[in-house]
Amino acid sequence: YTKQKNETALEAFITHQSERSFDVETALRVCQQAGYHELALKLSRRTKLHTWTLRILLELERFDEALAFIQTLEPEHAAAALRKTGKALLERMPEPTTAVLVQLCQHSKPEEYIHIFVDRPVQLIEFLEAVTATDTNQSSFLYDTLLELYLKEDDLKRAGLVGDELESRIRDRRQKAYALLKRESTRIEKNHALVLCQGAHFREGVLFLLELHNLYAEMLQYLVEEDRPVEEDRYRDVLETCKNFGLPGPSKPGDTRLWGLALTYFASLRSAQKQCDATLRDEYIREILNHIRDIPDMHPLPALQILSSNPEITLGVVRDYVRASLAGRGQEIRKDSERIEQKKEQIAQKRHAIEELRTTANVFQPTVCAQCHQRLDLPAVHFMCGDSFHQQCLVNEKECPICAGEYQKIRERQTSQQQNRSCAHDQFMNEVGGHGFPLVAEYFGKGMFQKVALVGTERREGDPQFTKLF
HSE-up (13 A, CA, CB side) for residue 235:
21
HSE-up of residue 27 (Cα within 13 Å, Cβ side): 24
**Residue of 91, 138, 134 whose CA lies nearest to 112:** 138
470 half-sphere exposure, CB direction, 13 A CA radius: 13
Alpha carbon distance 219, 404 (integer Å):
55
In order, the DSSP letters of 216-271 are HHHHHHHHHHS--SSHHHHHHHHHHHHHHHSS--SS----THHHHHHHHHHHT--T
- Coil/strand/helix, residue 67: helix
What per-residue confidence (pLDDT) applies to 425? Answer: 64
| Distance, CA of 402 to CA of 370 (rounded, Å) | 8
Give pLDDT, residue 284: 94
- The model's pTM is 0.64
Q: What averages of pLDDT result for each successive group of 10 residues across the chain (470 residues)?
A: 59 64 69 69 76 84 89 90 90 91 89 90 92 84 93 88 91 94 89 93 94 92 89 92 86 85 93 90 93 81 90 91 84 88 90 82 83 87 86 85 83 75 64 62 59 48 40
Q: Identify the pLDDT of residue 339.
A: 92
Please state, in angstroms and rounded to a whole number, the distance separating the CA atoms of residues 223 and 202. Answer: 13
Q: How does DSSP assign 305-322, residue by residue?
A: HHHTT-TTS-HHHHHHHH
For residues 215 and 210, give the distance between their C-alpha atoms in angstroms, rounded to a whole number.
5
Q: For residue 17, what pLDDT is reported?
A: 64
Single-letter amino acid, residue 110 = P
What angle separates helix 37-46 from helix 24-34, to the nearest 10 degrees?
Answer: 160
Closest by CA position to 135, among listed 145, 123, 127, 144: 127
pLDDT of amino acid 439 = 64
- Cα(67)–Cα(87) distance, rounded to whole angstroms? 12
Residues 6+ apart with CB under 8 A from 360: none
